[in-house]
Amino acid sequence: MKTLIKEFTKGIIKENPTFVLVLGLCPTLAVSVTVANGIGMGIAATFVLLGSSVIVSLIKDFIPGKIRIPCYIVIIATFVTIAEMSMKAYSPVLDRALGIYVPLIVVNCIVLGRAEAFACKNNLASSFFDGLGMGVGFTLALILISAIREFLGSGQLLGHTLIKGFEPIFVFGMPSGALLVIGLLLGFFNFLKNRKT
Amino acid sequence: MNIQEFLTIFISAVFIYNVILSRFLGLCSFIAISKETKPALAMSFAVMFVIVMSSIITWFVYRFMLLPFNLTYLRTISFILVIATFVQLVEMVIRKFSPQMYRAFGIYLPLITVNCAVLGVAVLNIDMFFLNGKQVAGSFYYSLFQGICVGLGYTLAMLLMSGIRERLELCNVPRALKDFPLAFIIGGILSLSFMGFSGFKF
């Protein structure tokens, strides 16, 4: 039980997919204009991560080593299609906002990376918690980035105005703002790490 | 199908909606392989070739297999499989016929499979040039041309970025900002300058 909790929590801080492993940045940067989009993307990616980790760890003994990557990709693509179709059906607004970045979860390096580095070597329970932890870590990172961008770019959080009379800095709502925010955040985390050692 | 349409595709794919700087596709390779100009250029050409070929193949797959049999929901799965197989094939052919080129490309070729720019362009082509389950006139040529233009935009961004980062090697930067963080900040400033192109909207 203790190791399972460790598998879960390592994805949130120690091996955070966005800030420590620096993986899967395309969706992180593209959809983080508002917090609502960020949460939607995080949930979709967590679902795919969880599903693919569980399936890969279940059938790892039947997959021949040489063609394992195509097999993983098919499993991942299946879960992405499920996520895509349910999003279209239940939340068309979110689907329009996320656009082509939903099918692009297939090529998100985090998902394939976890299948290749963890799920194909570990049993069902630890793979489940590893996938869940990575997904939660990814979602939290998305929420952090999108909260900074939404607040600075439009003066709002989840659509509510926070400070009256705050003049929004439009550049943070633009693509360049995303790159600046993640660059500065990575630098900040590096600074904290350097000071500790 | 007219010249104006092609010009619009060219300017919007290369400048206004540059794959890397505005759509964030292929960002991993943009950050990881832009330390020196030479590998950056090799990667750009490899990506461009694969994007062009895969936009041709995926167009045929969508038009003649998925559309007639009402299988459009299999778009993501079939496209990624076709792209992965194609990249593998290219790798085998290059290794057989030109070991020199194979060494030059090195590990970049297999990496292209998971480059979001390739799948992104394929999905974008389908979204833009197939309306309500029907192809628009000349959609094949538009898809092909958009593939070429996106490849050009990718090369342009890679070239700019690697040139800047080569010079930065000699500069003294704060320890916390070294490597990744600084690369992102430079990318942000580049993207800011590309925003100027959004002035000419069509």
Over residues B161-202, the pLDDT tens digits come to 999 988 888 888 888 888 788 888 999 999 888 888 877 665
Would residue B14 count as lying in a domain?
A: no
Pick from B24, B127, B181: which is nearest to A190 by CB? B181
Q: How far apart are the CA of A132 and the nearest CA of chain B, in angstroms?
A: 22
Residues spanned by the domain of A140: 2-147
Is B161 part of any domain? yes
Confirm whether B18 is domain-assigned. Answer: no
Burial (0-12, 13-18, 19+ Cβ within 10 Å), B37: middle
- Say which residue the tokens 């906002």 belong to: A97
B137 within some domain: yes
Whether B180 and chain A come into contact, CB under 8 Å, resolves to: yes
Mutate to test the interface with A, among B24, B29, B121, B165 (most CBs of A within 10 A): B24
In tens, the pLDDT along B109-153 reads 777 777 788 888 988 888 888 887 777 888 888 899 999 999 999
Residue B200 lies in a domain: no
pLDDT at A44: 92
Reported pTM:
0.86
In-domain check, residue A84: yes
Q: Is the pLDDT of residue B63 over 80?
A: yes
Convert the pLDDT of each residue in A87-143 to its tens digit. Answer: 999 989 888 888 888 888 888 878 888 888 888 888 888 888 888 988 999 999 999
Establish if B9 belongs to a structural domain.
no
Best interface-test mutation with B: which of A41, A176, A180, A185 has the largest number of B CBs within 10 A?
A176
* Nearest chain B CA: its distance from A17 CA (Å): 13
Residue of A nearest to B194 (CA): A176
Is A123 among the domain residues?
A: yes
Number of structural domains (chain A) is: 1
Q: Between B28, B80, B127, which is nearest A106 by CB?
A: B80
Query: Is residue A112 domain-resident?
Result: yes
Number of domains in chain B: 1
A108, part of any domain? yes
Q: Is residue A188 part of a domain?
A: no
Q: Give the range of the structural domain holding residue B155, as residue numbers without chain letter.
A: 29-188
Q: Show residues of chain B in contact with A171, CB under 8 Å.
A: 192
Range in A132-141, B41-50, B149-158 with the lowest mean pLDDT: B41-50
Asked if A191 and B195 come within 8 Å (Cβ–Cβ), the reply is: no
pLDDT at A63 over 80: yes
Whether chain A has a CB inside 8 Å of the CB on B36: the answer is no
Does residue B96 fall inside a structural domain? yes
**Taking residues A182-190, what's their average pLDDT?**
88
- The mean per-residue pLDDT over the stretch A34-56 comes to 91
Facing A26 at nearest CB: one of B73, B116, B194: B116
Distance from CA of B194 to the nearest CA of A (A): 9
Give the span between the Cα atoms of B52 and B44, in whole angstroms.
12
Mean pLDDT throughout A15-42? 83
Is residue B198 in some structural domain?
Answer: no
Q: Do B24 and A25 touch (CB under 8 A)?
A: yes
Decide if B9 touches A, using CB distance below 8 A. no
Would residue A178 count as lying in a domain?
no
- Domain membership flag for residue A32: yes
